[in-house]
Amino acid sequence: MISTKRRLRTLVSGLSSDAHMWNLVYLQLLLEERGHQVSNLGSTTPDAEILRACRTERPDLLVISSVNGHGRLDGLRLIRALRAVPALRGLPVVIGGKLGIDGRDHAGAAAAHLTAAGYDAVFDDAAEGGPDAGLLRFETFLADLAVADPAGGRSGTRHAAGPGAAA
C-alpha cells in the first residue's frame, strides 16, 4: 500500500489568558508551509469560542499554544470541556509551549497530567531538549497524523512529549 499525506484542516489557538500572538502566527506559517489549511483563532480566545469553532469548522487537528505559562491550568480546563462534547471526543488535540510558571511544574508531570486529561500530545518547552526538540516532536506528530488512514480512524494513542518522550 502506498502511503499518502493528506492536507489537514487545522485550528490554531491561544488560551483565554494568553495574549501572545507571535507563537500562533509562527505555527500557522509552519503548518501552511507543510501544505495544511489553517484557521488561526488568535490569542485570548475563550474556551467557548474554541469549542464553537471545533464544532462548526470540523478540523482534523486543534493546536493550542501557550507562552505565558498558564497552559497547564487553562489547557486542562479546555480539554475537559472539549472532551465532554461527544462530537469532539475523537478530535486530535495537542498543546505546547510554556505550560507552567514555576519550578514545581516539571515537564514530565505536566505532560502526563495533560495527556491523561485528553490531549493527544503535549510539547512542553521545559522538556528534554527545550523548545527546538519539542518542535521536532510536533513535526513528527503532524507527519504521522497527515498520513492518510483508509479506515478514517485514528489509533487513540496519546503521546506525553515530556522529558525523553517522543510524540
| pLDDT tens for each residue of 24-72 | 999 999 999 999 999 999 999 999 999 999 999 999 999 999 998 888 8
Q: In what order do the strands lie in the sheet with 121-124?
A: 37-42, 9-14, 61-66, 93-97, 121-124, 159-161
pTM metric for this prediction: 0.86
Measured between alpha carbons, how far is 90 from 70 in angstroms, rounded to an integer? 25
> Taking all residues of the chain, what is their mean pLDDT, rounded to a whole number?
85
Measured between alpha carbons, how far is 55 from 47 in angstroms, rounded to an integer? 12
Measured between alpha carbons, how far is 71 from 16 in angstroms, rounded to an integer? 10
Which position has the grid cell 503532524? Answer: 142
pLDDT in tens, 87-107: 999 999 999 988 887 655 566
Measured between alpha carbons, how far is 160 from 167 in angstroms, rounded to an integer? 7
Cα 61 to chain center, whole Å? Answer: 8
Q: What is the pLDDT of residue 103?
A: 56
